[in-house]
């Protein structure tokens, strides 16, 4: 989690620096127009602008890469089967538990990661705490159902990006298989687009995907209690 926080802070810092560079460049050009500098000064401004825009473009390219950083996967000291499940918080816990048990993996240890499902404007409202509570409820409910069925399972609320949740979990849980659980397409999360091929490119183990019905209103309302 500390590494994940560091990456998030670095991403924000790069965005702030890129924004400041753009503002300073605009201010410099505006000043240049008012003062009417000689041609040589314009050449200097042009070179400076190119440098600033190059730095801004580099920051824009680097920031997305920082969002999903493949970690060194954990290594198991035995040959037991371990299933990492990365599940959308909107998935119905009973249906998710059925999907996990239905895979027919005997003597498998399960680790469930439930990313916080955020909206575009969650940082401007109080939705962030509500979204985290929803993920925590989905995690706790699903783990309880798995334990009732005799499945050895652990879990944690993950990052607000599914792929980050997966790579973070793989850094501490030596999974032999990964299962992505997403709701139906009409209720899918914007960060889950083309999730399966991206996950397969990042993980060194087999990655599958299952569509799980969304939680019923009465069921999901328990996350607000």
Residue 193, token pair as written in the block: 């687009």
208 token code pair: 């599958």
pLDDT at 99: 95
If phi > 0 it is left, if psi is from -120 to 50 it is alpha, else beta; for residue 65 that is: alpha
Cα–Cα distance measured from residue 8 to residue 10, given in angstroms and rounded to the nearest whole number: 5
For residue 65, the model assigns a pLDDT of 45
Question: What are the structural domain ranges in the chain?
Answer: 2-67, 81-224
Pick the CATH number of 81-224 from 3.40.50.620, 3.30.365.10, 1.10.1060.10, 3.30.950.10: 3.40.50.620
Q: What is the pLDDT of residues 174-221, one digit of tens each?
A: 999 999 999 998 777 666 778 899 999 989 899 999 999 998 665 554
In this prediction, residue 43 carries a pLDDT of 73
Query: Residue 51 — very low, low, confident or very high, per pLDDT cuts 50/70/90?
Result: confident
pLDDT the model gives residue 79: 77
User: What's the mean pLDDT in 145-160?
Assistant: 93
Residue 170 pLDDT: 93
Q: How far is CA 30 from CA 19, 41, 47, 67, 92, in A?
A: 17, 13, 16, 35, 56
195 or 15: whose pLDDT is higher? 195
The proportion of the chain whose per-residue pLDDT surpasses 90, expressed as a percent, equals: 37
Read off the tokens for 41: 């000064």
pLDDT per position as a tens digit, 129-150: 888 899 999 999 999 999 999 9
On average, the pLDDT of the chain sits at 77
C-beta of residue 135 within 8 angstroms of C-beta of residue 157: yes
| Most confident of the following: 35-44, 110-119, 214-223 | 110-119
pLDDT computed for residue 49 by the predictor:
66
Task: Tell me which of 152 and 60 has the higher pLDDT.
Answer: 152
From 107, 94, 76, select the one nearest 181 (Cα to Cα). 94
Q: Which residue has the tokens 């999901």?
A: 220
Give the CA count within 13 Å in the CB-facing half-sphere of 180.
28
Q: Can you give the three-state secondary structure of 115-174, one letter per residue?
A: ECCCCCCHHHCCHHHHHHHHHHHHHHHHHHHHHHCCCEEEEEEECCCHHHHHHHHHCCCC
Q: Is 127 exposed, middle or buried (0-12, 13-18, 19+ CB in 10 A)?
A: middle
pLDDT at 2: 40
Tokens 């929803």 belong to 134
pLDDT at position 169 over 60: yes
User: What's the confidence (pLDDT) of residue 111?
Assistant: 97
Q: Name the nearest CA neighbour of 151 among 215, 93, 114, 104.
A: 104
Per this entry, what is the length of the chain?
Answer: 225
Give residue-wise pLDDT tens across range 52-70: 666 665 655 555 444 455 5
pLDDT at 7 over 60: no
Helix (H) or strand (E) holding 80: none
Q: What is the pLDDT of residue 159?
A: 85
């Amino acid at each position: 989690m500390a590494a994940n926080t560091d990456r998030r802070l670095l991403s924000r810092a790069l965005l702030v620096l890129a924004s400041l560079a753009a503002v300073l460049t605009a201010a410099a050009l505006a000043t240049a127009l008012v003062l009417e500098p000689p041609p040589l000064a314009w050449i200097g401004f042009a070179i400076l602008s190119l440098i600033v825009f190059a730095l801004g473009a580099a920051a824009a390219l680097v920031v997305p890469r920082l969002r999903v950083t493949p970690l060194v996967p954990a290594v198991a000291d035995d040959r037991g089967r371990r299933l990492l499940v990365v599940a959308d918080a909107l998935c119905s816990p009973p249906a998710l538990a059925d999907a996990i048990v239905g895979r027919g993996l005997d003597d498998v240890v399960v680790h469930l990661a439930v990313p916080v499902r955020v909206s575009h404007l969650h940082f401007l409202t109080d939705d962030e705490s509500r979204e985290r509570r929803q993920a925590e409820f989905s995690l706790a409910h699903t783990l309880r159902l798995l334990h009732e069925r005799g499945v050895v399972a652990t879990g944690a609320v993950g990052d607000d990006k599914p792929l980050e949740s997966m790579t973070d979990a793989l850094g501490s849980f030596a999974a032999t298989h990964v299962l992505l659980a997403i709701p139906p397409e009409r209720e899918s999360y914007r960060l889950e687009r083309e999730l399966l091929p991206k996950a397969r490119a990042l993980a060194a183990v087999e990655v599958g995907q299952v569509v799980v019905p969304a939680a019923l209103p009465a069921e999901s309302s328990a996350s607000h209690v």
